[in-house]
Amino acid sequence: MTALETDLSAFQAERPRLISIAYRMLGERAAAEDVVQDVWLRWDRADTGDVANPQAWLTAATTRLAIDALRKARVRREAYTGPWLPEPWLHDPADDLLARIETAQQAELALLWAMEALTPRERAAFILHEAFDTGYEALAGVLDTSEAACRQLVSRARRKTRGGPARAGSAPEAIMELLAGIMTAYARGDIGQIAALLSEDVVAISDGGGKARAALRPLMGAAETAQVMHALATRKPPDRVPDLVWMNGRPAIGILDGGASDFLMTVTPAADNPSRIGWIYVMRNPLKLPL
């Protein structure tokens, strides 16, 4: 095996993990793939004979490039029309490659959204430590700082992402039941039935990106959310029933016909009452919907 073939083999073995790190950092699939492609170019140019641990080298390179990319992305997101939501990752749960990409923890959309409150370095520390079991010594090497500083970064990230309306780690069956309930209530146009499925502090966010009809701010609370959903239910319904799909490792529903009514939606159970919805995600932006 030539040196190039050895380098390519080492990189390909790590590529799903690197994409997963970059996607969690950026919340955008194409941007994550761009970061990992840049990592390959650097790896290809590096003197890999001196690299004792290819995984550590590639992880550090991916994380540092993703931190830089996130800083630039946040400048662009300040001018985004309406709420910005992470791009969904639609997949077949039986797909082995994507199952390997979703290592350790699922890249849950509720958590990705909550991580927008973190600084890029807090986000990197949190992702590597919590989702990939990276120890503080290794984390210090990746972020070029001390172990004590890394502990502080992770601690701050935990505090900032704790206590929101979303309940991470929910069973797919629970999400599927809530989705079925909300679609039944929506189809009936029953505002009382809709409200009964929502937690008092539910947050509903729709992302149209200025390219599709969507609320220009998050809906807060059961009363407001139920009222808006009821108003939508009384309008002309979509041409067909939404399909059940898998998105970021969790059930979702959507219409993906390439038309004006396309959307993807998922929910997360409330932290204090899993039988009610704590967070609603609706993607309408056609640039973020799978083709």
Residues 176, 181, 185, 191, Cα dihedral to 10°: -110
Per-residue pLDDT tens digits for 112-165: 999 999 999 999 999 999 999 999 999 999 999 999 999 999 999 999 988 665
- Beta strands at 277-283 and 263-269: parallel, antiparallel or unpaired: antiparallel
pLDDT value of residue 146: 97
Q: Could you give the angle at the alpha carbon of 208 between the alpha carbons of 204 and 212, nearest 5°?
A: 125
The pTM of this model reads 0.91
Q: Is pLDDT larger for residue 1 or for residue 213?
A: 213
Residue 117 dihedral angles phi and psi, to the nearest 5°: -80, -10
Please compute the mean of the pLDDT values over residues 257-279 and round it to a whole number. 92
Q: How confident is the model at residue 182 (pLDDT cuts 50, 70, 90)?
A: very high
With a CB cutoff of 8 Å and minimum separation 6, the contacts of 124 are: 25, 63, 66, 67, 142, 143
**Using CB atoms within 10 A of its CB, is residue 55 exposed (0-12), middle (13-18) or buried (19+)?**
middle
Token pair 């502990």 in the structure block, residue: 151
**Rounded distance, CA 127 to CA 123, Å?**
6
Q: How confident is the model at residue 100 (pLDDT cuts 50, 70, 90)?
A: very low
Helix, strand or coil, per DSSP, at residue 197: coil
Q: How confident is the model at residue 81 (pLDDT cuts 50, 70, 90)?
A: very high
Please compute the mean of the pLDDT values over residues 40-56 and round it to a whole number. 92
**Rounded distance, CA 210 to CA 71, Å?**
22
Q: In this model, does residue 54 exceed pLDDT 90?
A: yes
Contact indicator for 129, 142 with CB cutoff of 8 Å? no
Beta bridge partner(s), residue 8: none
Please compute the mean of the pLDDT values over residues 80-106 and round it to a whole number. 71
Q: Which two tokens stand for residue 193?
A: 């039935």
State what percent of residues in the chain have pLDDT above 90. 71
Helices (H), the chain: 3-26, 29-45, 54-77, 96-101, 109-114, 120-126, 132, 136-143, 147-161, 172-188, 191-196, 222-233
Q: How confident is the model at residue 104 (pLDDT cuts 50, 70, 90)?
A: very low
pLDDT value of residue 240: 75
pLDDT value of residue 166: 57
Q: How confident is the model at residue 94 (pLDDT cuts 50, 70, 90)?
A: low
Averaged pLDDT score across all residues of the chain:
90
Please compute the mean of the pLDDT values over residues 71-90 and round it to a whole number. 95
Among 160-164, 271-275, 285-289, the range scoring the smallest mean pLDDT is 160-164
Q: How confident is the model at residue 270 (pLDDT cuts 50, 70, 90)?
A: very high
